[in-house]
Amino acid sequence: MIGRNMLLGMLKPLLPKLEGFLKNHENLGNGERAKIVIDLENSKLDIKILAFKQIPKETERKNDEVVISRILQEISEQEL
């Protein structure tokens, strides 16, 4: 199992590039932000780049909500 420090050490050099990629993603709509989600499902790695919007709280809700708008890109284990 990969420890937290090892994972951070591997990701740290990539952070500026990942941040630029997410902020400037060509398919982002107005008010959307991008997020990378890495998931392990049925022993297969799945990476998705999601677009999401933050919906401000209204009178009946106590907190802001974050809603996933759509999947911008999906990368399978075979593509890595």
pLDDT tens, residue by residue, 33-42:
898 988 887 8
Mean pLDDT of 18-33: 88
pLDDT recorded at residue 49: 92
Q: How far apart are CA 51 and CA 70, in angstroms?
A: 5
Task: Give CA torsion, residues 33, 38, 41, 44, to 10 deg.
Answer: 130
Q: Which of residues 20 and 1 earns the better pLDDT score?
A: 20
Mean pLDDT of 20-47: 87
Q: How far apart are CA 1 and CA 65, in angstroms?
A: 33
For the entire predicted model, the pTM comes to 0.69
Bridge partners, 46 (sequence order): 39, 76
